[in-house]
Chain A
Amino acid sequence: MTDTHLDPDVLRALQEVMEDEYPTLVDTFLADCEQRLQLLKQAGDATQVLETAHSFKGSSSNMGAIRLADLCHELELQAKGQNLPGIEVLVAQIDREFAFVRPLYEEERRRSLCASVTARR
């Protein structure tokens, strides 16, 4: 079920690379996402949407948020086509998807913190 939203292999690899800093990475990503969602919702023109969607897509894919990355890619295409109704629909979908994955990442962060505390004992 979560596999269509989050890629567990990517998460495992991230944890391995980041080690103790994994929770910070997750925090940073979530903060980035919130900032970008705000930008998308307030965006005045398609170009701004395009740029935000592009970097949103990049970090989502790096963080294993598969569906979020796909939706951002879709939004990029709509923005490029200046399709305003399409943009509106997709921003709403992205908002919902983020609301869905956010608790999953928070859970991931908690789990990692415990594991590292356990490991240190």
Chain B
Amino acid sequence: MIAVQPALESLTILIAEDSAADRMLLSSIVRRQGHQVLTAANGAEAVEVFRLQCPQLVLMDAMMPVMDGFEAARQIKELAGETLVPIIFLTSLSESEALARCLEVGGDDFLAKPYNQVILSAKIKAMDRLRRLQATVLQQRDQIARHHEYLLNEQRVAKAVFDKVAHSGCLNASNIRYLQSPYALFNGDLLLAAFTPAGDMHVLLGDFTGHGLPAAVGAMPLAEVFYGMTAKGYGLAETLREMNAKLKRILPVDMFCCATLLCLSFQRRSVEVWNGGMPDGYLHSLATGKRTPLTARHLPLGVLSPQTFDDRTEVFPMALGDRVLLLSDGVIDTCDDGEQLFGVQRLQALFAANRQPDALFEEIEQALRDFGGVARDDVSMVEVSLLEPAQLNPPALVYSDSGQSCPLDWSVAFEFRAATLKRFNPLPYLLQLLLEVHGLRAQSGALYSVLAELYSNALEHGVLGLDSGLKRDASGFTRYYQERNARLDQLQDGYVRVHLQVTPQGEGGCLAICVEDSGKGFDVERVLERPLDPVRLSGRGVSLIRQLGRNASWSDDGRSARVEFYWKALA
């Protein structure tokens, strides 16, 4: 705090003057004006007195024996450092050159002989004001520095907390490359990635409105929903609805989060996309060289009410090595010296010039550096590639219970009807139920994948009557998912039944999954005749189920599917 100082503060003033009479006279004048006086008869003495007693102001004769006033002034200024100790030169010097020298060595003013009391008093007051101004400036500078340090420390702590929340992420997976400032969190940029129980990968690139702590505060709940729901096996739609509802509830009206959410399925070789308010992402097909823009089709998260929120996603097929590039608006809005934007066209020129897909990421980074001159801290980019599932190592799930209460002999049946099929994804619940059986936990990925295939086959081909043949090529793939959404919206009746049966077998056990639907069924013989081919876009579900599960069979003209899982005694 800055104390209000009295109008005239008593100062300690050093008088350095070799002439005894002048020194005596000046001391009396200064003392009469209410100040404490220290005296020195030459420059060397003056420096010594200053060192020992730190006077606040110095009256200094220029010409003195032993050490002259110029040298003494230089040394005193050096000793004083940042503190302003005004030095008024006492002089009958008349040449401008000598006067200039007084200022060059750090003098602040002159006082000519013979001394004039009024002028001396005025000069001391003026110098005192200057001295206090400097002290205030230093004090405030230090205060600002302390506050800045404090703020940085707060950000460090907040970042550490956030990193704990986000610890389960898989941004270091071998198929992900990303560029993000360590303090992006405080620019509102957010990048999250996690594996689903089935081994799919969810990726979110978000950009909160606002900066600093408010932006970071919104990131915490968003990350928790993302990681929590992804780990439990929820799909993009449910996760998006939850994230939107949560942000809508907690954020002020002018704050929201632009976001692109991806689900990369390594098994199905497809990517599901939802883009709310982010710049176009790009799906790059290596085979054709084509880049499909992943355009924003929705309002950002946290804007719409849960009732009006649109969770519809788009699905695109991918081949091995194909990649998705997402970027924040910091990339496109990077400015050069002339306030010109980097822009989408320059980005697309980079795409066109790119020869080595693996080098594109660095090429964009380099181009941004060349263009903007300085590195911005709100530039975030992420590139995700589609690899063979075996090339990725999803982390093993961690379970906290001991296993003593594990259920081993039970069955359960569900029937999900039209109104439920429209909105509700039962898979996470089914999976959680099954993972209570410890013996199944080691196979949770396969289990989830098979459950997901059986359920989507029953829903899409059975209840909705979609022809998987549509998915033969890329454009049909897109049409297929558009049609799926449209038919689901209009669904009036139909059902999917799931029957689970767990039976103990010695030390191990067996799970039988049976899924039935209300659809027309399909020609089981013909589908099963096809060789097990994991690469074709259509009919992959059946291959997958036969590969991952045991004794897969279809009955009732394909309306009923059954598959088994076995486990042995736990080690």
Contact = CB atoms under 8 A, between A and B. Distances in A.
B63 A31 contact: no
Interface string B83-99: 00000001110000000
Nearest to B21: A29
A14 B116 CA distance: 11
A61 B114 contact: yes
Contact of A62 (B63, B91, B115): B115
A107 interface: no
Contacts of A24: 24
Give the most central of B18, B21, B28, B91: most A CB within 10 Å. B21
Given A25-B21, A51-B63, A62 B113 contact: yes
A59 interface: yes
A28 B20 CA distance: 7
Interface residues of B, number: 19
Contacts of A51: 63
A89 B438 CA distance: 120
A17 B32 contact: yes
- A interface bracket (residues with beta carbon within 8 Å of B): 20 to 34
Q: Is the interface of A mostly helix, strand, loop or mixed?
A: helix
Contacts of A32: 19-21
A18 interface: yes
A24 B25 CA distance: 10
A13 B120 CA distance: 14
B139 to A, nearest CB: 36
B25 A14 contact: yes
Contacts of B113: 57-59, 61-62
Interface in A28-42: 28-29, 31-32
Given A31-B20, A59-B19, A62-B113, A25 B92 contact: no
B117 interface: yes
B22 interface: yes
A47 to B, nearest CB: 11
A63 interface: yes
Nearest to A61: B114
Interface string B428-458: 0000000000000000000000000000000
Nearest to A33: B21
Interface string B228-270: 0000000000000000000000000000000000000000000
A101 interface: no
Interface in B90-142: 90-92, 113-115, 117
A25 B24 contact: yes
Nearest to B18: A55
A18 B63 contact: no
B22 A59 contact: yes
A63 B24 CA distance: 12
Give the most central of B25, B115, B117: most A CB within 10 Å. B25
Contacts of B90: 58
Interface string B53-73: 000000001010000000000
A54 interface: yes
Contacts of B91: 58
Given A10-B114, A51-B63, A62 B25 contact: yes
Given A31-B20, A32-B19, A54 B63 contact: yes
A40 to B, nearest CB: 15
Nearest to B91: A58
B8 to A, nearest CB: 18
Contacts of A58: 19, 22, 61, 90-92, 113
A88 interface: no
Contacts of A29: 21
A68 B225 CA distance: 95
B88 to A, nearest CB: 15
A57 to B, nearest CB: 6
A3 interface: no
A1 to B, nearest CB: 22
B63 A59 contact: no
A106 interface: no
Interface of A: 10, 13-14, 17-18, 21, 24-25, 28-29, 31-32, 51, 54-55, 57-59, 61-64
Interface of B: 18-22, 24-25, 28-29, 32, 61, 63, 90-92, 113-115, 117
5 contacts: A10-B114, A17-B25, A55-B18, A61-B92, A62-B113
Given A55-B61, A58-B22, 9 more contacts: A24-B24, A28-B21, A51-B63, A55-B19, A58-B113, A59-B21, A61-B113, A62-B22, A62-B25
Question: Shortest 3 CB-CB distances between A and B: which pairs?
Answer: A29-B21, A61-B114, A58-B113
